[in-house]
Amino acid sequence: MTELSWKQVAAWRMNRNHLVKRVPPKASLDIVEDICGLHAQLMSSAEFSAWARVDRLGREDIQTALWDSRALVKLWAMRGTLHLISSAGYPQLQAALSTYRHFNSAAFKRYFGVDADEITEIVAAIRVVLDKGPLTREEVAARVAEHLGIPQRAEQLTGSWGPLLKPASFRGALCFAGSGERRVRFARPDRWVPKLTEITDSTAADADPQAADRADQAVLDMLRRYLRVYGPSTRSDFARWWAIPDSQAGKRIRELGDEVTEIKVAGEPRWLLAADRDELAHAKPSKAVRLLPAFDPYVIGITGHSDRLLPDPTLRPRVHRPQGWVSPVLVVDGLLAGIWQYEHKGDTVTVAVEPFGRQPAWVRTAAAAEADRLAKFLGASETQVTWADTG
């Protein structure tokens, strides 16, 4: 079994995440596909994640791709969290998301007051009310309640975090549309996403026996994509990222057969796409430094074992904070070397770095260059960088 170090893995992942060399603007949609979407719980995080990977990106470029050209689409995706994904990749991701069933559980019914059949009715009603165009959440809620003849549905659908809207997102009935008068609006994907002709809903397997198979194959494709950029991984890593039980993740990995191979990283067995083994074995650090935003996909993708990429595992709570918050991180050759924050006042951006130990001059110089890029991205001309004393 091939034996590798975490430094090799970190350097390889840095490259696969497009964090060694920025891509030209024309390839910006490709990086969204490659890294399995931009995490968008905070819209600024999605913008900064793209900035960290795309050269000469303007901050308005993401908004334009999302609301004007619709080359990007915003939806509740992996783990029920908001993501921006490429419209071209939407059908495959949506097919995979259609296999989600956690909202059919008894626990979900106890907490939110709806069972599996009622969820199916709500999703079908959302498809109907969004047929004519985008609506605000309040409009969706009111019209679904009227369509079903169940007044309490209006209150249930306007709950925070959208627990009853997420199943509609997973099953291809709903995505985000441009905001109107500062209010979020939703659209039907087959009306909003360019050239979209098919929605996969694996719950329709009885009516269309091919739907469930398409959905299952789409999940395997998401596993391949995950391993291609965040591997080598354990079944628990994929289970956490895709939000399924470990046993299901292990089953999916086994279904890939000879496409995957088992290797060891610092003595730990992990899974990797067989086609990537030689490239990973020859990976070397390239002195790549990035200031990654909160919730960057690179950090989200390695949540289960990020302590291996820290100089001290006890530092993990500074990266993964309470209530699911993930800090902005200073990344050096794929290793988590510190956290940072910025302040934009007038024409000046101040970047404050808290390194996890003393950093060599080349890291400080590279981080300062990243801060200058950030200032330009934000429309400022002056940059100040401060480093906390590590003692």
Q: Are 177 and 186 in contact (CB under 8 A)?
A: yes
Segment (H or E) for 94: helix 90-97
The per-residue pLDDT for 323 is 86
**Chain segment 215-260, per-residue pLDDT in tens:** 999 999 999 999 999 999 999 999 999 999 999 999 999 999 999 9
The answer, yes or no, to whether residue 200 has pLDDT greater than 90, is no
Per-residue pLDDT of 142-162, as tens digits, reads: 999 999 999 999 988 987 667
What local confidence, expressed as pLDDT, does residue 391 receive?
Answer: 55
Q: What is the pLDDT of residues 111-132, one digit of tens each?
A: 888 899 999 999 999 999 999 8
Strands 82-86 and 348-355: unpaired
Cα distances (Å, whole numbers) of residue 259 to 88, 112, 240: 25, 41, 21
Is omega for the bond preceding 189 within 30 degrees of 0, making it cis? Answer: no
Q: What percent of the chain has pLDDT over 70?
A: 96
Q: How confident is the model at residue 210 (pLDDT cuts 50, 70, 90)?
A: confident
- Whether 183 has a pLDDT exceeding 90, the answer reads no
pTM listed for this prediction: 0.94
The answer to whether 292 and 338 have CB atoms below 8 angstroms apart is: no
Provide the token pair at 181.
């008068």
10 by DSSP, 3-state: which? helix
3-class state of residue 86 by DSSP? strand
Mean pLDDT, residues 75-95: 95
pLDDT beyond 70 at 202: no
Q: Which two tokens stand for residue 197?
A: 């002709």
CA distance 47 to 28: 11
Q: pLDDT over 90 for what percent of the chain?
A: 83
Q: What was the pLDDT predicted at 204?
A: 58
- For the cut 70, the answer to whether the pLDDT of residue 327 exceeds it is yes
State yes or no: pLDDT of 7 exceeds 80: yes
Q: Is the pLDDT of residue 206 over 70?
A: no
Mean pLDDT of the chain: 93
Please report, for the chain, the start and end positions of each structural domain, with discontinuous segments joined by +. 289-387
Task: State mean pLDDT over 87-109.
Answer: 91
- Return the pLDDT at 110: 86
Q: Give 188's pLDDT tier (boundaries 50, 70, 90).
A: very high
Sign of CA dihedral 198, 202, 206, 209: positive
Mean pLDDT of 165-173: 94
